[in-house]
Amino acid sequence: MKKALLVLSLIVVFTVNLHSGITIHVKYDATGSNNGTSWTDAYTSFQSALAAAVSGDQIWVAKGTYKPSYDYELGGGSRFYHFRMIEGVAIYGGFAGSETAVSERTNFGAGQANETILSGDLNGNDDKDKGDSYHVFYHPGGLGLTSSAVLDGFTIKGGNANGSYTHNRGGGMANYTSSSPTINNCTFTSNLAYLNGGGMYNEYSSPTLTNCTFTSNPAYDGGGMWNESSSPTLTNCTFTSNVVPDIGGGMYNNYHSSPTLTNCTFTSNSAAYNGAGGGMYNFDSSSPTLTNCTFTSNFALSAGGGMFNENSSPNLTNCTFTSNSVSVAGPGNGGGMCNFSSSPTLTNCTFTSDTAVNGGGMLNYDASSPTLNNCTFTSNFAFSSGGGMWNEFSSPTLNNCTFSSNSVPGSGGGMVNGGTVSGGGSSPILTNCTFTSNSAGDGGGMANYISSSPTLNNCIIWGNEASTNGDEFWINYATITLNYSCYANASGDIYISGGTFADTNHNITSDPQFVGSSINPAHPYSILGTSPCADAGNDSYNSQAYDIRGVGYPRKLNNTTGGVGTIDMGAYEYKIGDDPLTSVETGIASTPKKFTLSQNYPNPFNPSTKISFNLLSKSFVSLKVYDLIGREVSTIVSEELSAGNHSCQWNAANVPSGIYFYRLQAGSFSETKKLVLLR
């Protein structure tokens, strides 16, 4: 009896080992026995390999295109054909068909020689039609996939999730309850979802993705990815050219979804027709964490070209928002970011060249109170209000932030704070912030409307410009309080139409002596050692350990000894050995209006007009014309020009009548003005 049991045990062990650690090969043109045991005898069908695999196996798939052929007993015909990952099975694509190790794979990315495609385009016509699979991968609840289920080195394309629930979500991959596989080195492209998640849909699932790309995936919401009560982890991932008509072009995070994103890029995604959150949309207590992420050239028709947050509070560190935009045809709020009843935290983030109707860089609305530390707003543009930031019934907290070269034809080049008599206003608190070289019609540095009451501590407001009223401040039945701050108070700098300008608490009105761009182009608004702003702040207002430059540039330094001392005014702390004590540069500090853009003449015009501008240093100059929805109409100048006065003609003979905007960018300076073509 014992001998029989021993034999039976050996058989069981042998059987388990037989199915543990096996490598199953797939090669579409293999001509051997097609049992998966080698490249010669590989399966020609990926579906066959999945049917043979058990936990502990690996599946190696050679270059080529593979399509699903099994519905996993869902019924309904070929549209229900799909692939399913398997718990404990690692699936690798991108092989040429001769390798003996996964590490030997080369050139297996999208469009490369060994690209391995898993496609739901069953008809092979590249059209989204009724012959396509609903999903390339479909993981229903109950599979229990964990990180040991691995997919690595594939292009997933051609899924067409236009069926009924649950087959109207996740054209590329649909992960339902407790499906959290590992996805590496994969590209999700040209997948469609009638409802959510063209590239990927996650519901109560949190996959881990590394080095993945989501491109050209359309859906109604969440073109690249939709997360529902899910918190995936993404590292080195790219979302590009995904498009939705509604919300979340690149990614939509819904209902307590808090993904973690590191080194991820969102580029040229759009919420194009009625939409918000071109790059990302966060809703209903979703608080993703983003580190070292970039949002570039994303677009939304309504709000939040780069990101829209509604009742959500994401945490962003070292993130950049560049050239994101919203259309002037819609509400057009928040080119870089729009916050609605949301309070995100941003640290070391940059908003540059973002465009909107209101809030070129950021718009905060309906009791939004974000916290911004060491953030930069530069060269953002708004068509109406708030070139850098627009606050409506919101009270953000800003520490060590700079607003420079933001512009708007209307009000608030750097910032607008708005409200109503009945609804209250905005009461932001700004500590050690610098506003300079911003431009507007009213309130070049800051415009404050009814019932708003901003407080500025240890700040510098200098060298801003308004074409109508208030170079530095424009106040309309609002109250602004300055403590230990430096501001310009020459004629025309402060405009008050009702309200209060409280400036009695240790403020100064002397030139802050910025270092300037010719000495420190990366940090032109740092201050000289001889600046009256050095050691002139109040330590109690600021709890930040470092200035806007971060680690290595501590706050509260003595400007003569370099030891512990009193905090400086502005976003920068003078540091002996790093910042110059004095300067021979006669730059923005003593001549704050060194760059000027004149109103075109004649205006209105037909068909040509003259545009003049002044440069006080050699600069690369861009002068472009845009239409009312922000589309580039013409490039007039794009070259390096010497210091001095310049003028040029714009001939609009082939352009229809209407209102246009022309924008000058020269180094860190930018300004926009309106022109009218009238035939």
For 37, the token pair is 């045991």
Distance CA 176, CA 167 (A): 11
In this predicted structure, what is the pLDDT of residue 645?
Answer: 79
Question: Residues 324, 349: contact at Cβ < 8 Å?
Answer: no
Could you give the CA distance from residue 249 to residue 217 in angstroms, rounded to a whole number?
9
Q: Give the list of residues 6+ apart from residue 15 with CB closer than 8 angstroms, or none.
A: none
Residue 608, CB-side half-sphere exposure with 13 Å CA sphere: 7
Give the DSSP per-residue string, 197-254.
Answer: -SSEEEES---EEES-EEES-BEEE-SSEEEES---EEES-EEES-EESSB-SSEEEE
Residue 377: partners with Cβ closer than 8 Å, 6 or more residues away: 350, 351, 352, 361, 362, 388, 389, 401, 402, 403, 404, 406, 414
- The string of pLDDT tens digits covering residues 531-586 is 999 999 999 999 999 999 999 999 999 999 999 999 999 999 999 999 999 864 33
Give pLDDT, residue 343: 94
SS (H, E, C) 300-360: ECCECCCEEEECCCCEEECCEEECCEECCCCCCECCCEEEECCCCEEECCEEECCEEEECC
> 578-583 long-range CB contacts below 8 Å, 24 or more apart?
578/553, 579/515, 579/520, 579/526, 579/527, 579/528, 579/529, 580/515, 580/519, 580/528, 580/529, 581/528, 581/529, 581/530, 582/528, 582/529, 582/530, 583/513, 583/515, 583/516, 583/519, 583/528
Residue 10, φ and ψ in degrees, nearest 5: -65, -35
Q: How many angstroms separate the CA atoms of 324 and 296, rounded?
A: 6
Residues of the chain with pLDDT under 70: 1-20, 420-423, 583-594, 628-629
Of the CA atoms within 13 Å of residue 226, those in its CB half-sphere come to: 32
pLDDT at 669: 82
**What does the alpha-carbon distance between residue 222 and residue 195 come to, in Å, rounded to a whole number?**
9
The Cα–Cα gap between 293 and 480 comes to: 35
Task: Write down the pLDDT at residue 373.
Answer: 98
Phi, then psi, of 346 in degrees rounded to 5: -120, 130
pLDDT at site 17? 43
CA dist 215 and 268 (Å) reads 10
pLDDT of residue 583: 62
- Rounded CA-CA distance 166/193 in Å is 11
Angstrom distance (rounded) from CA 101 to CA 119:
25
- What is residue 590's predicted lDDT score, i.e. its pLDDT? 37
**Cα–Cα nearest to 68, from 133, 164, 158:** 133
Structure tokens at 256: 């307590």
- Across the beta sheet with 160-161, the strand order is 160-161, 192-196, 219-221
pTM: 0.86
Cα(152)–Cα(514) distance, integer angstroms: 52
Q: What is the pLDDT of residues 258-287, one digit of tens each?
A: 999 999 999 999 998 878 999 999 999 999
Q: What are the backbone angles phi and psi of residue 520, rounded to the nearest 5°? A: -140, 85
Place of tokens 């019932």: 451
Parallel/antiparallel/unpaired status of strands 619-626 and 632-641 = antiparallel
What is the distance between the alpha carbons of residues 147 and 584, in angstroms, rounded to a whole number? 61
Domains and CATH numbers, the chain: 596-677 (2.60.40.1930)
Give the number of C-alpha atoms closer than 13 A to the C-alpha of residue 527, restricted to the C-beta side: 31
The secondary structure of residue 451, as a DSSP letter, is T
Tokens (6 digits) for 1: 């009896």
Tokens 């729009």 -> residue: 338
Instruction: Compute φ and ψ for 7, nearest 5 degrees.
Output: -65, -40
Q: Is 531 helix (H, G, I), strand (E, B) or coil?
A: coil
